């Protein structure tokens, strides 16, 4: 009993560690990228190519880990890795196009819509059902984050198509992370090590053209400075931890939980923006953040309640055997073996 409790406690600590790594690295990378990309910073506006750099360093870390024996390698069919990488890259490009073509308000709404989309997709693909408490808590989180982030909302056809593609592909990618880990019994870091090289190569080849379409400039025209290089390296280092923790979190929990608790990052970014970059903090922002945090707490409780409600397998259920049944089965096998031996002796 004590062993089970200690294992449960250790699992809880590691779960908190995974979330803390994801939130810290995600908020850190947003702050670093804000300094790197803003006109008041280094004005490096090549977001898609930068993501290619992120995955290149992640792939390098995976390669070193595999070469030194720190991580094992399990077989995953190449077509599955290519399909996953394609979906993930479409997600990145569509997000960038959505941000360019839509108002900030509609872009935030599209990001908030990922939670219900993930829920529907998990129901369709994996027949997963949610309790009323979970649905209600998700609604509270969406409303809270919406209040503190959504401002002007303008919609156009191209922007709507890009936003829809971004939401669908991102949701599918996050669900696929958990599915592939379970299907091939592969760890989060091992899966990331297999997909990162494919994503890095494709993003570094096609990323500059996507960025040219978005900004009207090729990366070759950008004048690098030591400060920009250091900021890019910091962004890449944080991206490694962000990518690893994303796979860890989805592997341990679910894509829905990752989306819900992931909005904690939005609250942290708004708070840090106010503290570090003198961003405006209104009563509306504060009220929205409080509602969002309350929704996250309710969601955590609702998920825990849902786990407790699940019927536990009884020790003498239909699919289990009692000690008497095991003894009878053993005696039957021994009796059959004895008969086989006797028949063999008669034949000879």
Contact (CB, 8 A) for 195 and 88: yes
- The pLDDT value recorded for residue 1 is 47
Region for residue 285 given its phi and psi (left: phi exceeds 0; alpha: psi -120 to 50; beta: otherwise): alpha
Question: Which pair of structure tokens corresponds to residue 147?
Answer: 């209040």
Q: pLDDT 10s per residue in the chain (348 long)?
A: 455 555 555 555 577 777 788 888 887 887 888 889 888 889 898 999 999 999 999 999 999 988 887 777 788 899 999 999 999 999 988 888 887 787 766 777 777 778 788 888 888 887 877 778 778 877 887 787 777 666 666 777 888 888 889 889 988 988 888 888 888 888 878 888 999 999 999 999 999 999 998 888 999 999 999 999 999 999 999 999 988 888 877 767 666 676 666 666 667 766 776 776 666 677 777 787 788 778 777 777 777 777 677 655 444 444 444 444 444 444 444 444 434 434 344 444
- The pLDDT value recorded for residue 342 is 42
Residue with tokens 């070469």: 67
Virtual torsion, Cα 300, 182, 240, 87, nearest 10 deg: -100
Q: Alpha carbon of 232 to those of 67, 150, 256: distances in Å? A: 26, 29, 31
- Radius of gyration over every alpha carbon of the chain, rounded to an integer in angstroms: 25
Distance from C-alpha of 47 to C-alpha of 323, rounded to nearest angstrom? 63
- The pLDDT value recorded for residue 333 is 46
Q: Alpha carbon of 30 to those of 42, 151, 239, 266: distances in Å? A: 14, 20, 10, 10
Which of 51, 81, 283 lies closest to 198, judged by CA? 81
Contact (CB, 8 A) for 67 and 193: no
User: How many residues make up the chain in this entry?
Assistant: 348
């Amino acid at each position: 009993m004590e062993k089970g409790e200690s294992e449960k406690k250790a699992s809880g600590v590691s779960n908190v560690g995974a979330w803390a790594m994801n939130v810290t690295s995600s908020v850190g990378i947003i702050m670093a990228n804000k300094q790197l990309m803003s006109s008041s910073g280094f004005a490096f506006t090549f977001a898609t190519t930068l993501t290619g750099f992120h995955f290149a360093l992640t792939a390098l870390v995976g390669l070193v880990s595999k070469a030194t024996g720190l991580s094992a390698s399990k077989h995953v069919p190449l077509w599955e890795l290519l399909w996953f990488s394609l979906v993930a890259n479409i997600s990145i490009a569509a997000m960038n196009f959505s941000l360019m073509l839509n108002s900030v308000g509609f872009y935030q709404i599209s990001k908030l819509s990922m939670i219900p989309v993930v829920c529907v997709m998990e129901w369709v693909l994996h027949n997963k059902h949610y309790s009323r408490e979970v649905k209600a808590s998700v609604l509270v989180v969406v409303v809270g984050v919406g209040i503190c982030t959504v401002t002007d909302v303008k919609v156009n056809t191209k922007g709507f198509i890009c936003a829809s593609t971004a939401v669908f592909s991102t949701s599918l990618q996050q669900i696929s992370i958990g599915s592939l880990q379970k299907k091939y019994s592969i760890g989060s870091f091992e899966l990331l090590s297999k997909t990162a090289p494919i994503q890095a190569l494709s993003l570094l080849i096609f990323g500059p053209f996507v960025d040219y379409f978005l900004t009207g400039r090729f990366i070759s025209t950008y004048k690098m400075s030591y400060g920009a290089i250091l900021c890019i390296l910091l962004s890449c280092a944080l991206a490694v931890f962000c990518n690893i923790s994303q796979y860890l979190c989805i592997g341990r929990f679910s894509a829905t939980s990752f989306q819900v608790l992931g909005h904690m990052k939005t609250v942290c970014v708004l708070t840090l923006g106010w503290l570090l970059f003198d961003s405006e903090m209104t009563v509306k922002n504060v009220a929205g953040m409080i509602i969002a945090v309350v929704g996250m707490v309710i969601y955590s409780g609702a998920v825990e309640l849902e786990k407790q409600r699940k019927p536990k397998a009884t020790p003498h259920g239909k699919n289990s055997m009692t000690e008497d049944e095991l003894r009878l089965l053993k005696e039957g096998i021994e009796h059959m073996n004895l008969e086989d031996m006797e028949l063999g002796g008669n034949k000879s």
